[in-house]
Amino acid sequence: MRNGAETVPEAEDEARLRAEAVAFTRYLIRDEPTPEVSARYAAANRTLLGGESTARERALLATCLARPWTLPFLDAVEARRQAPSLLRDKVLVMSAVLETTTRFGARFLPLKRSGPVLLLELAVLGFVAVFRVAGGMVLVRVLPGLRA
């Protein structure tokens, strides 16, 4: 068991899982999940993520749900840590669920860009990605319970 780990109650609160589905869908594709997508996300969580989580992992999740603007930063900073992350796992599960629907799947399909436009967009996205990590590093220091 990981440090400070606790077992998530078996019947994880359906309402909380649905709230996560909403927050993660908004974060990932700036859209609202359909009830079917939320239900599938909840089912995937129960199947794949019903195990243990640490106090820090729960705090990260709670912060993202209470203050959705922190999610892009905390997800980015978690990506830099080479450690298991419940938040990353949950966002990945949401991505998988969204990608395999007819309604949202197109947002995960390849985009065609001309060479210069592609390079410009990659530069902007790269800058944003780095900014998110930097912002995340600050947030983990100032918000309670998030330090590794």
Binding site for other proteins (CB under 8 A): 27-29, 40, 43-44, 47-49, 72-73, 75-76, 79-80, 84, 88-89, 91-93, 95-97, 99-102, 105-116, 118, 121-122, 125-126, 128-129, 132-133
Rounded Cα–Cα distance for residues 34 and 65 (Å): 18
Whole-number minimum distance, CB 50 to other proteins, in Å?
12
* C-beta closer to other proteins: residue 12 or 108: 108
Question: What whole-number distance in Å separates Cα of residue 54 and Cα of residue 62?
Answer: 12
Measured from the CB of residue 9, what is the shortest distance to other proteins in angstroms? 20
Considering the complex, state which of residue 3 and residue 47 has its C-beta at the smaller distance from other proteins.
Answer: 47
In the complex, the smallest distance separating the C-beta of residue 92 from other proteins, rounded to whole angstroms, is 5
In this structure, the chain runs to a length of 148
Q: Which is nearer to other proteins, 28 or 146 (CB)?
A: 28
- Separation between Cα atoms, residue 32 and residue 103, nearest integer Å: 11
Q: Give the shortest CB-15-to-other proteins separation in angstroms.
A: 21
Which residue type is seen at 41? Y
* 3-state class (DSSP) for residue 48: helix
What is Dmax (Cα atoms) for the chain?
51
For tokens 């978690």, the residue is 78
Residue 86 in tokens = 């419940």
- The dihedral of CA 61, 67, 68, 72: what is its sign? negative
Comparing CB distances to other proteins, the nearer of 40 and 56 is: 40
Least distance in Å: CB of 71 to other proteins? Answer: 8
